[in-house]
Amino acid sequence: SNTFTDTAAGSFTDGTVGVGINLDSNALGASGNSSYLTAKETSNIPETASVNIVADKAKDINAYSGGSQVKNLQSGKTASIDLTYTKTELSSSNVDTTTEVANLKMVSYSEDKKEWEALSTVATYLDADGNTVTSPSADLSNVTSVKFTAVGTHFSAYALSSPTGAEPPSTPGGVSATAATSVGGAITVAWSTSGGAEGYYLYRDTNSTGSFALYATVVGGSTASYADSSVSGGTTYYYKVAAYADGGSQESAASSAVSATSPAAGGGGGAPGGGGGGGSSSSPPARAQRIYPDGTIVYLDEPGAAAKIKELDAKLSAEEKTKKLALATTKTAAVSSESSRPSETLSVAGQMPSPVFIRDLSRGARGDDVRRLQALLGVEETGLFGPLTEKTLKAFQVKHGIVKSGVAPGAGKLGPATRARLAEIFGSVRESSPAPSVESTSAATGSPVPVITRRLSPGSRGDDVKALQAFLGVESSGYFGPQTRRAVEAFQEKYGIAKAGAPGYGDVGPMTRKKLSELSEGMVESATVPSDANGVPVSPTREAALNSSVAPIVTRTLSVGSRGEDVRALQLYLNVESSGYFGPLTRKAVEAFQEKYGIAKAGAPGYGDVGPLTRAILKGLSETGAP
């Protein structure tokens, strides 16, 4: 952009990149420094489960003032961001109607949270001359491009995202911070509740343009305040609040920063920041308080407040656990009632991952070791160490006495003490867990190779997801979850598309879609043909005829990812290549066996897995010698 002083309002327009920016005055500072803005298009974008990035690209927006980069705007200042996409760019992500355009959200990447934030977005339809189309056709036939406008408070990557199947709560409004009147008193942060929120994340810093690390987690969607007692006299603290839902996997954009100054010793006796006063007031001074979902209020300066808060926190935690248990029980009962036959146990591919970690992990870390940690903690295995992973790790640390509280040093970080405790707890119960491989990936699954025309990632839904799952041999639910991601990763590694930690690993991006397209056109690898001890090729049919006239006795649940001699024996009996690895071909054969004997049908629990009922039938056939 043209240069301007940081005290003035700045603007930037680049028709080639499709970016427009209008900046508040003093948004970059108030020193009179020379400032400017830049924007460029990039496909090197962070991949998270919360977004489906349109056209697989973002606009990287940066600001500079006085020779230094500025990432966060001054408190209370904003920037209006315009992103313009051509109809062709939108169509590349299957956005072809006004209804689909209305569902798009502008998102900005937060370096503080290591996550994308959804912004309130307004779409403006434009013709070939850039004029507004007031009545766009439903199929966009009279539209050339669409301008999307949102308000941001920091500079980073901005992009468009289509719905992922889950919407985060709205950003909390009415955020305020009030300091106590006495030295050492707590600062009370209050906000208006957000619809659908399960709780709130509180971010704190001592600089209005600082990094704002996660400071506290407030449980309960109706809780609307937090008392911060860990303050130092004379220090100004800045706070941002975000709402979360779905156990923390869905988080709103953070609010604008608010601040309060903790009173210093020897002050003038007036309200903090009020510059003295000394006279009487018509209303009593504000008292720091903590409000619970049932309406209970605890004033922090009342006798026994600490003990009462501890008791109420424990009660609230127990209630939340009871609710989750009741919900899980209800879901289990609903599944069981769908079939009169005993349901089989569904298991995720692979066994318990290794609990041994060789590096420290904290928020923002990525990789297979993060995914292993998430599997051990029971959170979605995204491979990105985000707010939910941090929150769950804190709970683990407090439970096992590694830290005293969620705000203690080291809380939410995987350090030496936590690594040792994980190895101790999970090491004794861990079973062998070889990494899954792709069994005859291509035509061997029996399902056609799908042609995918949009980016798919965790959270995506649709018939194209279902077709991909059928091809990869995972449950065809139509929802892209952790198991589908693992199957995609195996596919990518097999064809050299991506490795662990690389951008797009586990997502169906341009390179993965290209390989699927090639396979659909007949460029598939031939399946490996087994051979006997002398190296003579043996067909699966001949091998089965020689070795599997009697059904095998299987003593454990087998599913996609299982390995062993019992898998090999099952494959021989079912007339499948005896690799010893339970992959898509084996699953198809098990499904056919279950349908033949009336054990399960497509869509039923346990379909395609060797669960209790399937094992019982196999055992009966083995004992009678029936084929």
- Can you tell me the mean pLDDT for 528-544? 39
- Can you tell me the mean pLDDT for 551-565? 83
- Give yes or no: residues 384 and 506 share one domain: no
Mean pLDDT for the chain overall: 76
Residue 377, exposed/middle/buried by CB under 10 A (0-12, 13-18, 19+)? middle
Q: Model confidence over 378-397: pLDDT tens digits?
A: 777 788 888 888 888 888 88
- Give yes or no: residues 416 and 447 share one domain: no
- Give yes or no: residues 21 and 132 share one domain: yes
Domain span including residue 545: 540-624
**Token pair 């297979």 in the structure block, residue:** 368
User: Positive or negative CA dihedral for 201, 205, 210, 211?
Assistant: negative
How far apart are the C-alpha atoms of 304 and 38, rounded to whole Å?
55
Q: Does position 133 have pLDDT exceeding 90, yes or no?
A: yes
- Give yes or no: residues 26 and 140 share one domain: yes
Listed residue (340, 350, 352) closest to 613, CA to CA: 340
pLDDT of residue 142: 94
Q: Letter for the amino acid at 301? A: D
pLDDT of residue 276: 38
- Can you tell me the mean pLDDT for 77-81? 91
| 524 or 494, higher pLDDT | 494
Q: For 29-67, give the DSSP string.
A: -SS--EEEEEEEEES-----TT-EEGGG-EEEEEEEETT
Q: How confident is the model at residue 521 (pLDDT cuts 50, 70, 90)?
A: low
How many alpha carbons fall within 13 Å on the CB side of residue 67?
A: 0
Lowest mean pLDDT among 43-47, 197-201, 228-232, 348-352: 348-352
- Give yes or no: residues 449 and 383 share one domain: no
- Give yes or no: residues 507 and 410 share one domain: no
Phi, psi angle pair for 80, to nearest 5°: -85, 125
- Can you tell me the mean pLDDT for 273-278? 40
- Domain end, chosen from 520, 552, 582, is at 520
Say which CATH number the domain at 597 has.
1.10.101.10
* Pairing label, strands 105-110, 199-205: unpaired
Q: Model confidence over 560-601: pLDDT tens digits?
A: 878 888 888 888 888 877 777 888 888 888 998 888 888 888
Say which CATH number the domain at 296 has.
2.60.40.10
Q: How confident is the model at residue 341 (pLDDT cuts 50, 70, 90)?
A: very low
Q: Does position 347 have pLDDT exceeding 50, yes or no?
A: no
Give domain status of residue 534, yes or no.
no
Query: Cβ(413)–Cβ(360) under 8 Å?
Result: yes
Identify which of 51-60, 78-87, 304-313 has the greatest average pLDDT: 78-87
pLDDT of residue 624: 63
DSSP letter at 384? B
How far apart are the C-alpha atoms of 132 and 138, rounded to whole Å?
15
Count of domains for the chain: 5
Listed residue (509, 562, 177) closest to 346, CA to CA: 562
- Can you tell me the mean pLDDT for 117-138? 92
pLDDT of residue 493: 87
Over pLDDT 70: what percentage of the chain? Answer: 77
Query: Cβ(119)–Cβ(106) under 8 Å?
Result: yes
Say which CATH number the domain at 87 has.
2.60.220
pLDDT of residue 269: 44
Listed residue (63, 59, 109, 49) closest to 85, CA to CA: 59
- Give yes or no: residues 135 and 215 share one domain: no
Would you say how long the chain is, in residues?
627
Q: Does position 524 have pLDDT exceeding 70, yes or no?
A: no
Q: Model confidence over 146-180: pLDDT tens digits?
A: 999 999 888 889 999 887 655 678 889 999 999 98
Give domain status of residue 315, yes or no.
no
Q: Letter for the amino acid at 228? A: D
Query: Count of CB atoms within 10 A of residue 345's CB?
Result: 13
- Domain end, chosen from 162, 192, 217, is at 162
- Give yes or no: residues 392 and 448 share one domain: no
How far apart are the C-alpha atoms of 150 and 159, rounded to whole Å?
11
Give domain status of residue 432, yes or no.
no
How many alpha carbons fall within 13 Å on the CB side of residue 95?
A: 27
Provide the whole-model pTM. 0.40
- Give yes or no: residues 64 and 22 share one domain: yes
- Can you tell me the mean pLDDT for 248-260? 80
pLDDT of residue 280: 36
Give domain status of residue 437, yes or no.
no
Give domain status of residue 128, yes or no.
yes
Give domain status of residue 501, yes or no.
yes
Q: Does position 145 have pLDDT exceeding 90, yes or no?
A: yes
- Give yes or no: residues 21 and 135 share one domain: yes
| 501 or 439, higher pLDDT | 501
- Give yes or no: residues 84 and 19 share one domain: yes
- Give yes or no: residues 67 and 186 share one domain: no
Q: What end-to-end distance do the CA atoms of the chain give, in Å?
A: 78
Q: Model confidence over 382-435: pLDDT tens digits?
A: 888 888 888 888 888 888 888 887 778 888 899 878 888 887 777 644 433 333
Q: How confident is the model at residue 525 (pLDDT cuts 50, 70, 90)?
A: very low
